[in-house]
Amino acid sequence: MINHDLQAALNLAVQLQAKKDFGSALIQYDQVLAEQPDNWEVVRMKSGCLDDMRRFDEALKLLKPALAHEPNHPGGHISAGLILHRAGDLQAAGYHYRRALECSPTLRIAQWNMALWEICQGDVDPDMWRRGWERYEWCKGMKLRPKDHPNDEWDGRYLGAGKRLYIRWEQGLGDIVQFVRLLPRVKEVSGGAHIILEVQEPLVDLLCDLPDVTEVVAWQHGGAFACQFDAHISIMSLIHVLGLSVDGVRAEPYLTHVADAVPTVPKDKPNIGVCWKGSPSHANDENRSIPWDKFRAAFDGVDARLWSLVPGETPDGVEPLTGRTMRDTANLIAAMDVIVTVDTCVCHVAGAMGKKVYTLIPSNPDFRWFYNRPDTPWYDTMRLFRQERYGDWASALKAVNDTLNTSPLRERPTCNVPSVFGPIQSTPTVAAPIITISPTLNPLTGMGATTLNGTRAEPEVLCG
């Protein structure tokens, strides 16, 4: 049991952590643990705070005795898996995700973590890709996914012309732009059904005239459907329902038609569109946005004109973005010779338009970017520049800078970058660094990691 004063301290710790005042939150957690050092739930909560601060070794050290004391606690294994995953120790993270599911097979958050872990390795293991998207369907009803509708969920069956298939939005703006590539296949499989596409308000003007969509509607607060339908499905369930492989998600540029009011820009030198930050409200924003004073290093010595793709922000030496809508942004992208961006909606729009785009990816990437590769099956004209270590963008920015300084910026990328899926388009000359995940054993835990050639060091996991 925890007394009133300690409960108040614990409540305050949770509030402070939610506000990202991590130092103050740690003080409150320590106040509770000073009185109850064996309160393993609070230990797990403090380790989560340390993880939020990216103090991975400290978080793991704190969590180890909690797991030893409660080896079958799913929450402990989930916490360990998340910390290890963010720290880049993929194999040990997978061990703890599996243990969490063994302890509680129906726990949705455990299924969610395992799904993303499997999907992000799906480019080298087709079975993991298939299982990951199948497992992803377990997560309906979570805060991270739309709630189930009681009836009429589409399962890939034939509907026929005249029937209405309502496709619900899910996740962020970039996810929708990425997944609308699947709608021609949906149209075919459903037998020509009328497709009603629900999206977030900022995407309505960008996606309003997709060729296989009958109507685009804006998501309504509260989650109510905007119109009547005969069947419905969440957009990120489509890969599973359609049974698509990694290679099956490839698509020719599918947003080229949105460039309907391309601005005239000077042609005396190459034009580069730059986006160094995404939405500050994004849960992972600190891991993907880069301060401009660091980001600008990508353009040292580059004889080009820079254009801001961040609305309302125009640093010195960068031309301003005109217009306020996503369609305006797409038109400016169309006028550029190359886009350099962090992992935000801009990279998806540029890729979907077939624009040459260089995307900076954190060391612990989102599921769609896989690991250890400079290309992506999602966008043939995109090249990935990855962090070597968490929080260190210097080497990735230098790789972008080297490429900009040595590659013709005005030529459509044609390329020889090797891909496990065969020839793709990308940019020649300086190769993006191929990073090994955690190339050495963790000095604290002794845990090994997946290496570039696919061999694995045996993990010394946190508990037996």
Q: Which CATH number covers residue 124?
A: 1.25.40.10
Does residue 452 lie in a domain region?
A: no
Looking at residue 46, its pLDDT comes to 95
Does residue 320 lie in a domain region?
A: yes
Does residue 351 sit in the same domain as residue 316? Answer: yes
Looking at residue 1, its pLDDT comes to 57
166-214 pLDDT, tens digit per residue, is 999 998 999 999 999 999 999 999 999 999 999 999 999 999 999 999 9
Does residue 30 sit in the same domain as residue 108? Answer: yes
Does residue 456 lie in a domain region?
A: no
Residue 417 to residue 234: CA distance in whole angstroms: 34
Looking at residue 280, its pLDDT comes to 74
Looking at residue 150, its pLDDT comes to 60
Does residue 261 sit in the same domain as residue 240? Answer: no
**Residue 8 reports pLDDT greater than 80:** yes
Question: Which pLDDT band holds residue 148 (cuts at 50, 70, 90)?
Answer: low
Does residue 27 sit in the same domain as residue 133? Answer: yes
Average pLDDT over residues 87-115: 93
| DSSP states of 170-234 | -S-HHHHHHHGGGHHHHHHHTTSPEEEEEE-GGGHHHHTT-TT-SEEEEPPTT---SS--SEEEE
Does residue 266 sit in the same domain as residue 398? Answer: yes
Average pLDDT over residues 22-33: 95
342-396 pLDDT, tens digit per residue, is 999 999 999 999 999 999 999 889 899 998 899 999 999 999 999 988 888 999 9
Cα–Cα distances in angstroms (integers) from residue 122 to residues 29, 48, 56, 114, 127, in the given order: 38, 28, 26, 12, 7
289-304 pLDDT, tens digit per residue, is 999 999 999 999 999 9
* Residue that wins the pLDDT comparison between 245 and 417: 245
Does residue 186 sit in the same domain as residue 95? Answer: no
Range of the domain at 323: 257-406
Does residue 98 sit in the same domain as residue 54? Answer: yes
Does residue 399 sit in the same domain as residue 332? Answer: yes
Does residue 278 lie in a domain region?
A: yes
Among the ranges given (111-115, 134-138, 220-224, 307-311), the one the predictor scored with the smallest mean pLDDT: 220-224
- 210 backbone φψ class: left, alpha, beta (φ>0; ψ -120 to 50): beta
Does residue 110 sit in the same domain as residue 26? Answer: yes
* Residue that wins the pLDDT comparison between 372 and 411: 372
Residue 423: partners with Cβ closer than 8 Å, 6 or more residues away = none
Looking at residue 141, its pLDDT comes to 63
Average pLDDT over residues 269-277: 96
**Residue 69 reports pLDDT greater than 60:** yes
Average pLDDT over residues 82-105: 92
Arithmetic mean of pLDDT over the chain:
85
Average pLDDT over residues 72-97: 92
Does residue 320 sit in the same domain as residue 398? Answer: yes
Looking at residue 147, its pLDDT comes to 57
Does residue 174 sit in the same domain as residue 97? Answer: no
Looking at residue 415, its pLDDT comes to 36
DSSP structural state of residue 337: S
Looking at residue 391, its pLDDT comes to 84
Residues 356 and 427 sit within 8 Å (Cβ to Cβ) = yes
Question: Which pLDDT band holds residue 30 (cuts at 50, 70, 90)?
Answer: very high
Residue 12 to residue 10: CA distance in whole angstroms: 5
Looking at residue 220, its pLDDT comes to 83
Residues 2 and 37 sit within 8 Å (Cβ to Cβ) = no
Does residue 229 sit in the same domain as residue 326? Answer: no
Looking at residue 200, its pLDDT comes to 94
Structural domain total, the chain: 3
Looking at residue 312, its pLDDT comes to 87
Does residue 227 lie in a domain region?
A: yes
Q: How many CB atoms lie within 10 A of CB 289?
A: 21
Average pLDDT over residues 431-442: 30
**Residue 239 reports pLDDT greater than 80:** yes
Looking at residue 140, its pLDDT comes to 72
Among the ranges given (220-229, 242-251, 280-289, 454-463), the one the predictor scored with the smallest mean pLDDT: 454-463
Average pLDDT over residues 119-146: 85
Reported pTM = 0.84
Q: Which of 128, 41, 140 is nearest to 90 (CA)?
A: 128
Looking at residue 149, its pLDDT comes to 62
**Residue 53 reports pLDDT greater than 80:** yes
**Residue 117 reports pLDDT greater than 90:** yes
Domain boundary among 406, 440, 459: 406
**Residue 442 reports pLDDT greater than 50:** no
Looking at residue 146, its pLDDT comes to 58
**Residue 19 reports pLDDT greater than 60:** yes
Domain boundary among 244, 266, 282: 244
Beta bridge partners of 216: 197
Among the ranges given (88-97, 116-125, 266-275, 315-324), the one the predictor scored with the smallest mean pLDDT: 315-324
